[in-house]
Amino acid sequence: MHALVVKFALQDAEKAALFDQLVAETVADITALEPGTLVYATHTVADEPLSRIFYEVYRDQEAFEEHERQPHTRRFLDQRSNYIASFWVEFLTPIVVKGLPGTV
């Protein structure tokens, strides 16, 4: 399993709405085309209207790399700078997991 968390700080409310639209389009393609992507959850943050957090879980490193090569992912990565002020990524190493296929 390969997992990560990404936090985006968006530029303003208008850009946040456009970012959310881009995310919705991207997640639709992820859902339809990426069997190795086990979880791709996007979240708003309480009391931070210009923040978004993504939680992503892939079957393995290879599934993550395949996700990164997809045209819809490339489009998202190419366009996100139009909407964000900053972002950070944390790669995660699972310790104890409930609810994901192939985990104990």
For the ranges 8-12, 14-18, 64-68, 91-95, the lowest mean pLDDT is seen at: 91-95
Rounded to 5 degrees, what angle do the CA atoms 58, 3, 73 make? 60
Domain residues for the domain of 46 are 2-92
Q: Quote the radius of gyration of the chain (alpha carbons, Å).
A: 14
In a domain, 19, yes or no: yes
14-62 pLDDT, tens per residue?
Answer: 999 999 999 999 999 999 999 999 999 999 999 999 999 999 999 999 9
In a domain, 98, yes or no: no
In a domain, 56, yes or no: yes
In a domain, 36, yes or no: yes
In a domain, 99, yes or no: no
Find the CATH number of the domain harbouring 69.
3.30.70.100
Quote the CA–CA distance of 1 and 23 in Å, as a whole number: 23
Whether pTM exceeds 0.85: yes
Number of domains in the chain: 1
